[in-house]
Every structure is written in C-alpha cells, then in structure tokens.
Amino acid sequence: MNEQELREIVKRTLHRIAPEVDLDSIDGKTDLREEIDLDSMDLLNFFVALHEQLKVDIAETDYSRLTTLDGCVQYLREKTGAV
Amino acid sequence: MMTITETGTDTKQFWLQERAALTGLPRGKGLNIAFEAVDRHVARRGEHIALRFRRKDRTSLDLTYSDLHRATNRFANALKRLGIGPSDVVATVLGRTPALFITAMGSLKNRSVFCPLFSAFGPEPIRERLRLGKARVVVTTEALYRKKIAPIIADLPDLRRVIYADGDFDGLLAAESDDFTIPPTSPEDPALLHFTSGTTGKPKGALHVHEAVVAHHATARLALDLRAEDRFWCTADPGWVTGTSYGIIAPLTHGVTTIVDEGEFDADRWYRLLQEEKVTVWYTAPTAVRMLMKAGREIVRNYDLSHLRFIASVGEPLNPQAVIWSNQVYGIPIHDNWWQTETGGIMIANIRGMEVRPGSMGRPLPGVEAAIVRHSDDRVEIISDPNVEGEIALRKGWPSMFRAYLGEEERYRKCFAGDWYLTGDLAKRDAGGYYWFVGRMDDVIKTSGHLIGPFEVESALLDHPAVAESAVIGKPDPVAGEIIKAFVALKPGFAASPELHDELLGFARKKLGAVVAPKEIAFLDALPKTGSEKIMRRLLKARELGLPEGDISTVKAS
C-alpha cells in the first residue's frame, strides 16, 4: 500500500464519521477536532475504524499523533511499512 | 405518608453560617458572586495566581487575582458604556480562554446575567439558546462567529453587540478604567443562566441568583476538599454547569489557583498537566476516567502524580470499577458526586473522611435535605425504607437552587411538590444513607457527561426534506455512557440508502455540532406510537437493547 492509498483510506474513514465535510479542501496539518468538528467519541470511532481496516494497533498513547490528516498518514505509513 | 415539616433549623443555620463565612459587598451592599470570587482576594493575595491557562501550543498564561480584578472591572465598565444593564444577558460562545473568565466575572460585576454556551454546539442549539435567553451581548471568536452565529444572526433580534475575543475585546478593555464599584446587589438578583434539556420542548434556561455563591463556596470545601493553597483542575467546559460552578466560581471564591486546559482530552497530555502543574484537587467526569482506564496503568508510571490529594467526578454515575482502578493506580479513590443544572451545586457526594462506596453517589451534604419519594400531583410520599427505588427529591432552601426556567413559569412550577424539588432522577438509598443512581424518569440522554434533549435532535432531523418522523434515544456505550442514536421514517418518494444516511448524518452534524448530532442513524418504515400519536422512544430503546418491551398495549400497530 502506498501513501496515496493510505490517505484515501483515512479520508474515506473520516467521511463516514463526518460526511458533511469536503475532505479534499482541508489542510492536512490542522487539528481534525476543530477543522471538521470531531468530538472525543468521533475521534475514538475513527481510530477503531482505522484499526479494523488496516489491522494496525494504535496505542492510546499515540492518539495525539493522529489528530491531523498528515499525522494520521505518517503514523500509518510507519505502522504498515507503506512507502 | 409522612407529613412535611418546616425546613430543618439545622439546615437553615448551616447556610446562615456559610453566608457569614463570605465577605459580602462593602458597607452591607449585598452579595455579588464576582466580589466573593475576585475582589475580596485582592488586598490579601492579589499576586496569587488565580488562573493558569495551558494553551494548545503548550505555552501558558497566568492571571493573578489582581490581574483578574482589573480586567473584570474594565469589562464591567465596557458593558456599562455599551448600555448593557442589570439582568441583561451576556452570553459566551468561547473555548476555555481568558476572555471567557473575564466576561463571566465582569458581567456579574455589572449585575448582568452570564450565560455560557458550549462552543462545540452547532448553529441550531446556539440560536435556540440565544433567542430564549434574549442575549444582548455575545462574546465569541471571529472563527466561531463565522461558523455558528453568522448563519443565524437574523433570528436574534435582541442581540445588540458581538464582541470578538480575538478582535475588539482587548481594545474595549484598554479604553476603560481599572476602577469599578460593584453596585448594590441583592442575593436574589439573577446572575447565571444555564440551559439544560428536557424530554420535550425547547431547552430550559435555569436561572440562578447571586446567593448561589454561598453554595458554590461551601460545597467546594465539603465535596472537593478545596483549600486556599490548592492547585485545582476542573476538566469540565464552562458551557456546562460544572465548568462554571466549579471551573470558574467556586475555586476563585477559595482563592486557589485554577488550571485551565484549553485543549481537548488526551491521556498523555492530561497526565503531563497533572504532573507539571502539581495539581492537588482534580474534578473530572466518568467518560474521561474510562478513557484514562483504556489508556492503561503503564503510562501512569511515567508521571509523578504525588501532589494529587483528592479526585472527584460528576456527570453520570461512576462505575464501581473506576473507583477501584483509581485506588490501585492513583493510590486514592475517585469521589463520585451528584447534582444537576437546576441545583447549581453539588448536593450528594462521597466526601473526604467518609467511606467511599464504589458505585454510589454518596450521601447528602450538610445543608442538603434529600429524600427518596413517590409523588402524585402535589402529594409527596417519602420512602423511608432502605433500598427502595424512587425519585430523588430535595427540600427547597439551599442557596444555589434555580429560581426559574426563563419565561416558563408552568414548567418551573411542575418541578416542585409542596416543599420539595423533584429531580427526575431515580435512585435508591441504602441503610447507610448512601444514594445509588438508577436512571432518569424522562428520556434525556447523558452522553460523555453532557445532557442532551432528544427533542432538539429530532427537530433538527425533521428539517430535512426526506424525513417524516424521527425519534432519538441514548444507546448504552462503554465509554460515553450513552451515545445518541436516531431512528427516522422517510417521506413517500424517499428510499433508505447509504447515501441518504450520510446526507442525514452530515445535515444533523452541521446544524447541531458533533456533540449533539446522532452518532448512529437507522431507517424504519414507521416509528412505534401510542394511541395519542406520541412516538415511543422507550420502546425503541427496549428493542435496541433486546429487552422485553414491557406493557406495549398502548402501542399503535404500525
């Protein structure tokens, strides 16, 4: 899986939680909680959904690395060994 | 049936003593929350840090009691100059930033009514509350304004001024004098407006008066063990009553240093805050505790939490496991307590020096007369046998009792039977006098400690052209307590589809904000109703839980 594919998976997962957001227009570096209005349960559901799709274990202590789109992709690249 | 007697003299005496422990406005000019919280500390401990804001970028900002005194005087002067007077409502739609605290205290000094709204609300809940409160001023940020207020501004005829915390706020303050004398304030003057939710109808604006500060101060000492040298952290947002009563007012009245976290939940960051700020007293919520439990015990070892002396929790019943976990991991128990927006302050609590019974909300505080009752019309029957389920009732007379639901006398009156305030919460009392929460009598939803009215969510969904009917329930969730689940029936010509599901979800999120919008939406051909066409949320909930549906004889075939 390459970075582009990972990014698409992340966006698709976010879309299911916040379908009203145009994910192509958001800044990859801003906090998703503010940028697309995710509350703590949304964020938790997002991590669980990523875990289920990618079979990646996301430690609770890593959550802070996954609060931006770019951060998510970077983290998942490391975990999945994607290029 | 027991006869109702006069409020106990002990109780009256207790509140008189607590009132005497406060300062009161100089020269006997009454009682004002802001004077007790800010001004009276200036001479003795003006340089003590009142508020330490931990910003998202990891910097921090301190405000001493003297700083707060001057800034709130300036804000009060600014309000006066804007023609905002006593009883006028000043609302905030703000994160946990200095402007929020300055607005709160400055408004109270001006004898205006402070009304904090949760900044995560979408435009719809904000419109409803600003309208019902007839807010004259709203303090917000430019970004929040654009997103949440601009779309509804035409519906707010009472609003006279929008102040941007990141815009003209500083300029307004800079133009004013540091001096302000709080006008004479009656303890019964309105001070705080907190919106809360019922099963039906609009949000209810619970109005509290300046005398509430007597209860804020006393209960923080009793139930949170707060003392002047404490470093206190209340994790609640002031948009909810806990974040105002115990996140702003009570700690300031004790002259403590309050830590304010401008960021959102994150286990590592929270532990770092507890360590770096040497927090001694910590008031949080069950959802947060459950998230910390998920993060595990391992990470706790990375931090020095040895300053922590007392932990309390509120918002929904705390699981017994959480109390036990806290004992094991933090070395001290979490003290659960119970109260409501309407009670203004903590009423029932596990307190220091008392055995904590895990899973129980504790015992009534001194000054609080509670009972388990059954009632019909205006008759109240007190259940004195232990372990019998009934409604929690509180005898009128504590200072922070709400004095009105704004503009809804009838709704207010219905909350009382004789001398008792009926809370709508079901509980049992054991032989030791400990109360155990059972459930709500109505259909309001407790999600992540936030009280959400199903009607507000249902109404938003009904605004969508495809939706004919909607019903909203709280679906049990291991972390949030409950999550909001909506059932909808579509109008003829519309068919259920994943696309429509997403559209409805996005529609609700845009109107309501993430915290109020449903997390799940299910399509049904028709919603179950009673003969009188009332949608039966309870039946939907029973079905959702796979429970027996109980007496459904009044359900109309659908």
Q: How far is CA B360 from the centre of its chain?
A: 20
**Residue B359, phi-psi category: left (phi > 0), alpha (psi -120 to 50), beta (remainder):** left
A40/B265 touch (CB, cutoff 8 Å), yes or no = yes
On whether both B14 and B128 belong to a single domain, the answer is yes
Chain A: closest CA distance from residue B450 (Å): 12
- The residue among B110, B86, B90, B106 whose CA lies nearest residue B98 is B106
pLDDT band per the 50, 70, 90 thresholds, residue A17: very high
- pLDDT at position B8 is 64
Q: Does A33 touch chain B (CB under 8 A)?
A: yes
Confidence (pTM): 0.92
Write down which residue in B429, B462, B485 finishes a domain: B429
Say if B1 falls within a structural domain.
Answer: no
- For residue range B35-72, list pLDDT tens digits in order: 999 999 999 999 999 999 999 888 999 999 999 999 99
Q: Calculate the CA dihedral of residues B542, B547, B549, B551 and round it to 10 degrees.
A: -110
Report the CATH number of the A3-80 domain: 1.10.1200.10
- pLDDT at position B5 is 43
Residue B47: burial class (beta carbons within 10 Å; 0-12, 13-18, 19+): exposed
Encode burial over B335-369: b for 16+ CB neighbours within 10 A, e otherwise: bbbbbbbbbbbbbbbbbeeeebbbbbbbbbbebbb
- pLDDT at position B4 is 40
Whether residue B379 has pLDDT greater than 60: yes
Runs of H (alpha helix) within B463-515: 498-512
- The residue among B195, B207, B112, B206 whose CA lies nearest residue B160 is B112
Residue with tokens 């993430």: B514
Give bridge partners of residue B484 from the DSSP assignment. B474
Runs of H (alpha helix) within B155-312: 169-174, 212-223, 241-244, 250-253, 267-276, 286-295
Q: How far apart are CA B268 and CA A61, in angstroms?
A: 6
- Strands B281-284 and B310-313, by their bridges, are parallel
- For residue range B138-177, list pLDDT tens digits in order: 999 999 999 999 999 999 999 999 999 999 999 999 999 9
Say if B434 falls within a structural domain.
Answer: no
Distances (CA, A) of B220 to B11, B42, B124, B132, B526: 17, 21, 34, 30, 49
Percent of chain B with pLDDT over 70: 96
Which chain A residues have a beta carbon less than 8 Å from that of B483? 41
Give bridge partners of residue B24 from the DSSP assignment. none
Say if B232 falls within a structural domain.
Answer: yes
- pLDDT at position A64 is 85
Residues in contact with B400: Cβ distance below 8 Å, sequence separation at least 6, in sequence order? B208, B211, B212, B214, B215, B216, B245, B343, B344, B345
Round the average pLDDT of chain B to a whole number and report it. Answer: 94
Which residue range is the domain that position B552 belongs to? 445-556
Weakest mean pLDDT among A35-44, B497-506, B517-526: A35-44
- Domain CATH for B413: 3.40.50.12780
- For residue range B20-30, list pLDDT tens digits in order: 999 999 999 99
Q: Does B266 touch chain A (CB under 8 A)?
A: yes
Amino acid at B462: L
Give bridge partners of residue B523 from the DSSP assignment. B488
- Strands B257-261 and B231-234, by their bridges, are parallel
- pLDDT at position A80 is 86
On whether both B476 and B376 belong to a single domain, the answer is no
Say if B436 falls within a structural domain.
Answer: no
- pLDDT at position B505 is 98
**What's the rounded mean pLDDT across residues B479-491?**
95
- pLDDT at position B2 is 39
Residue with tokens 């932990």: B311
Number of neighbouring beta carbons within 10 Å of residue B434: 22
- For residue range B242-265, list pLDDT tens digits in order: 999 999 999 999 999 999 999 989
Which chain B residues have a beta carbon less than 8 Å from that of A48? none
Which chain B residues have a beta carbon less than 8 Å from that of A19? 502-503, 505-506, 509
Q: How far is CA B366 from the centre of its chain?
A: 22
Residue B514: burial class (beta carbons within 10 Å; 0-12, 13-18, 19+): buried
Tally of structural domains, chain B: 2
Write down which residue in B429, B461, B485 finishes a domain: B429
Say if B46 falls within a structural domain.
Answer: yes
Q: Calculate the CA dihedral of residues B419, B425, B429, B435 and round it to 10 degrees.
A: -110
- The residue among B437, B223, B475, B233 whose CA lies nearest residue B319 is B437
- Domain CATH for B483: 3.30.300.30
- The residue among B11, B36, B402 whose CA lies nearest residue B213 is B36
By residue count, chain B amounts to: 558
Percent of chain B with pLDDT over 90: 88
Whether residue B553 has pLDDT greater than 70: no
Type and span of the H or E element at B62: strand B60-64
- The residue among B450, B265, B91 whose CA lies nearest residue A38 is B265
**What's the rounded mean pLDDT across residues B517-529?**
94
On whether both B219 and B178 belong to a single domain, the answer is yes
- For residue range B214-238, list pLDDT tens digits in order: 999 999 999 999 999 999 999 999 9
Runs of H (alpha helix) within B426-536: 454-462, 498-512
Chain A: closest CA distance from residue B272 (Å): 12
Chain A: closest CA distance from residue B268 (Å): 6
Answer yes or no: are the C-beta atoms of B268 and B291 closer than 8 Å.
no
Say if B439 falls within a structural domain.
Answer: no
The per-residue DSSP string of B324-354 comes to: HHHHHHTSS-EEEEE--TTT-S--EE--TTS
- pLDDT at position B551 is 53
Q: How is chain A split into domains, by residue range? A: 3-80
A16/B264 touch (CB, cutoff 8 Å), yes or no = no
Q: Does B35 touch chain A (CB under 8 A)?
A: no
Say if B15 falls within a structural domain.
Answer: yes
Encode burial over B71-90: b for 16+ CB neighbours within 10 A, e otherwise: bbbbbbbbbbebebeeebbb
- pLDDT at position B84 is 98
Q: Is the dihedral of CA B392, B396, B402, B404 positive or negative?
A: positive
Residues of chain B numbered 246-265 and touching chain A (CB < 8 Å): 264-265
**What's the rounded mean pLDDT across residues B93-122?**
97
Residues in contact with B504: Cβ distance below 8 Å, sequence separation at least 6, in sequence order? B461, B464, B466, B467, B486, B488, B521
B448/A64 touch (CB, cutoff 8 Å), yes or no = no
Give bridge partners of residue B435 from the DSSP assignment. B362, B429
Whether residue B6 has pLDDT greater than 50: no
A41/B519 touch (CB, cutoff 8 Å), yes or no = yes
B384: helix, strand or coil: coil
- Strands B89-94 and B529-530, by their bridges, are unpaired
Write down which residue in B429, B457, B484 finishes a domain: B429
Residues in contact with B540: Cβ distance below 8 Å, sequence separation at least 6, in sequence order? B471, B473, B487, B527, B528
- pLDDT at position A83 is 62
On whether both B206 and B302 belong to a single domain, the answer is yes
- pLDDT at position B86 is 97
Say if B136 falls within a structural domain.
Answer: yes
Q: Is the ipTM of this complex over 0.90?
A: yes
